[in-house]
Structure 1
Amino acid sequence: MKRNHLPQLAVLAAVAQAGSFRGAARELGIAPSAISHAISSLEEGLGIRLLARSTRSVAPTEAGAQLLERLRPALSEIDLALESAIESREAPAGNLRLTVPRTAAQLTLAPRLGAFATAYPDIVLEIVVDDRFTDVVEGGFDAGVRLGESLQNDMIAVRIGPPMRGAVVAAPSYFKTRQRPVHPQELGEHRCVRFRFSSGVLYRWEFEKDGKELEIAVNGPLIVGEDRLIVEAALNGAGVAFVFEDYVAEAIADGALVRVLEDWCPSFDGFYVYYPSRRHMRPALRAFVDFFRYSGAPPG
């Protein structure tokens, strides 16, 4: 391999991930013209077209995709080696990139991000909010956060939050003219505020009681993709909502929302940080895991 091919291959990987020369240039901190020159030189040196270009974007050709698939583990190991060298000093440092669902970002991470930044000022933590199930290795992430029930078997997982529980709620004004449901099947008679995942799938409300599990496809006049918007809609009388208990605990306590079907909403495992098994765990990731690790006590 020619020595100049290694940086060119890194540029190729950056372009493929960003989907454009400009995006790769921003990521690498170099001029777009340098990106274009590196790709052209690499293609000329190898004698094959690696990227298909259009006026709007670029994408790997079949040959380019095959090359990137073979290169990804090697480039990942190079990144890991460089970051480990940087972090060999006493304090953990470097970039740490996580994929996190919105609920975990809001309820589990956000309350402690300030304290983490203070404790580890040399770590640059990037949180990419995405409700889809992301392959952390393929996506270029150091780790991800998901509910315990959603984790893959080949991942190391560490619990970072308390047990979670759903809550079915509505405004008192909503129930003035409607009977409160006592069984999930009765939700078919109610106007429900529904949730759509970023994947496009509508959430089917999940219930459990005495070992019996139910999934209900509710109906209603409002579909949103953000839990806090669902809560606001419920507070304003739009209908019955199903959200995590932590979002509505205060509103239930002060009477702004009425809770129903509580006996059908058992607690379940909370959020976990998960990451691939590697020979060496980066100090920055170890610091994050140790800081957010759930010990059964309220976070300090």
Structure 2
Amino acid sequence: MIKTDDLALFVRAAALGSFSSAAREASLAPGQVSVAIQRLEEQLGIRLFARSTRSLKLTEEGARYLPYAEEALAMLREGREQLQGESRALQGTLRVAAPSDIGRNVLLPWLSDFREQHPDLVLKVFLSDSVADVFRDPVDIAIRYGVPDNASYVALPLAADNRRVLVASPSYIAEHGQLRTLDDLVSHQCLLYSLSGKTYDRWIFPAPEGRRQITVRGGLMCDDGDVARRWAVDGRGIAYKSWLDVRDDVVTKRLDVLLPEQPGELAPLSLVCPHRRQFSPAVRELHALLTARLGAMTNALHKPERTRVR
């Protein structure tokens, strides 16, 4: 009889491309994973992996079997959740990946409160601007900015109408002057952001003809969204940030929104999951919590009294 633990190790080894990585994730010795895969191969009568000293790849048979293994595990998980009922205490482990800025300054206290309300749940949080691969990385859900571009995973909206805004500190504005038009950006110190070797120095704005692109320059560049926000608060330049990232800074007057009548680029926030069957009670409850709280934050984006330059 095929063991579900063997199936789970097969799925993770295939995703991670390594027995050792799958073993570390499951707190097992690499040899235990190898034995589990061999046992599964013997029961199936096929070879699942082509092994070498430097690589681990699925065989053709293994690649064909993988989706069935994933579906079987998902069905078992869903059946267990149905039997337990959603009214019972949330249990198990929930691994969440989120961008550094909103993750650290907005989501972290909410996630901490969520875990406190469900003491039987183990919550693991990973903060990074590197985009988490929900199929290969050891995460259950990822919170992402941008329009989903991959139909192979499921994305649930958290803040669909969120946008970017131009912001600077009152001290920077006092020293360098107000922006009158978007064209003025080229003469200002703009805070640049880089990710995976790509520098985002072309800022996009909606325009009657479709969109307007402004190439900006600046002497400060980072690969962490929170660093750009901190530089802006410190008066180092102009940032083009998600409203969710800077909303509290604007409300507390650490930052002012520049050109408030100019709409910024759409920056929707979504909760991404590999498969709808992985929407466990914990994921569903967390999604509802985040949607409600983030929705209240984006409502302020459309209130002129909170976004005008002071």
State how 1:25-44 maps to structure 2 within 5 Å.
25-43=23-41
Amino acid at match of 1:192: C
Q: Which moved more, 1:11-20 or 1:259-268?
A: 259-268
Asked whether the 8 Å contact 1:161–1:294 carries over to 2, the reply is no
Asked whether the 8 Å contact 1:171–1:236 carries over to 2, the reply is no
Asked whether the 8 Å contact 1:147–1:271 carries over to 2, the reply is yes
Distance between the aligned counterparts of 1:181 and 1:147, measured in 2? 27
Q: Which moved more, 1:109-118 or 1:256-265?
A: 256-265
**CA-CA distance at 1:156 after TM superposition:** 6.5
Distance between the aligned counterparts of 1:256 and 1:90, measured in 2? 43
- Structure-2 residue corresponding to 1:293: 291
State how 1:88-103 maps to structure 2 within 5 Å.
90-103=88-101
Question: Cα gap change, 1:243/1:21 in structure 2, threshold over 3 Å: closer, same or farther?
Answer: same
Instruction: Structure 2: give runs of 5+ residues left out of the alignment.
Output: 298-310
User: Deviation digits for residues 159-212 of structure 1, max 9, x if unmatched?
Assistant: 369955523326735874x55432223323333221123474636323236686
TM-score normalised to the size of structure 1?
0.73
Question: Cα gap change, 1:279/1:271 in structure 2, threshold over 3 Å: closer, same or farther?
Answer: closer
- Structure-1 residue corresponding to 2:219: 221
| Identity %, equivalent residues | 25
Distance between the aligned counterparts of 1:191 and 1:89, measured in 2? 53
Q: SS of the residue aligned with 2:32?
A: helix
Asked whether the 8 Å contact 1:252–1:259 carries over to 2, the reply is yes
Of 75, 78, 81, which aligns to 1:77? 75
**CA-CA distance at 1:229 after TM superposition:** 0.9
Question: Cα gap change, 1:211/1:112 in structure 2, threshold over 3 Å: closer, same or farther?
Answer: farther
Question: Cα gap change, 1:69/1:204 in structure 2, threshold over 3 Å: closer, same or farther?
Answer: farther
- Structure-2 residue corresponding to 1:208: 206
Q: Which moved more, 1:203-212 or 1:93-102?
A: 203-212
Of 268, 280, 283, which aligns to 2:281? 283
Pairwise CA RMSD: 4.1
**CA-CA distance at 1:116 after TM superposition:** 1.0
Instruction: Structure 1: give runs of 5+ residues left out of the alignment.
Output: none
Distance between the aligned counterparts of 2:87 and 2:250, measured in 1? 49
Amino acid at match of 1:159: L
Question: Cα gap change, 1:215/1:61 in structure 2, threshold over 3 Å: closer, same or farther?
Answer: farther
TM-score normalised to the size of structure 2?
0.71
Asked whether the 8 Å contact 2:50–2:59 carries over to 1, the reply is yes
- Structure-2 residue corresponding to 1:262: 260
Amino acid at match of 1:72: E
Of 107, 115, 118, which aligns to 2:116? 118
Question: Cα gap change, 1:239/1:158 in structure 2, threshold over 3 Å: closer, same or farther?
Answer: closer
Q: Which moved more, 1:59-68 or 1:117-126?
A: 59-68
Distance between the aligned counterparts of 2:219 and 2:142, measured in 1? 34
**CA-CA distance at 1:50 after TM superposition:** 0.9
Distance between the aligned counterparts of 1:253 and 1:287, measured in 2? 28
User: Deviation digits for residues 125-184 of structure 1, max 9, x if unmatched?
Assistant: 3334455666756767554434575487884635369955523326735874x5543222
Q: SS of the residue aligned with 1:294?
A: helix
**CA-CA distance at 1:105 after TM superposition:** 1.9
Asked whether the 8 Å contact 1:155–1:274 carries over to 2, the reply is yes
**CA-CA distance at 1:66 after TM superposition:** 3.5
State how 1:1-300 maps to structure 2 within 5 Å.
3-4=1-2, 7-43=5-41, 46-48=45-47, 50-55=49-54, 58-85=56-83, 90-129=88-127, 131=129, 136=134, 142-147=140-145, 149-150=147-148, 155=154, 157-159=156-158, 163-169=162-168, 172=171, 176=175, 178=176, 180-198=178-196, 200=198, 202=200, 204-208=202-206, 213-236=211-234, 238-245=236-243, 247-248=245-246, 259-266=257-264, 271-273=269-271, 278=276, 282-294=280-292, 297=296
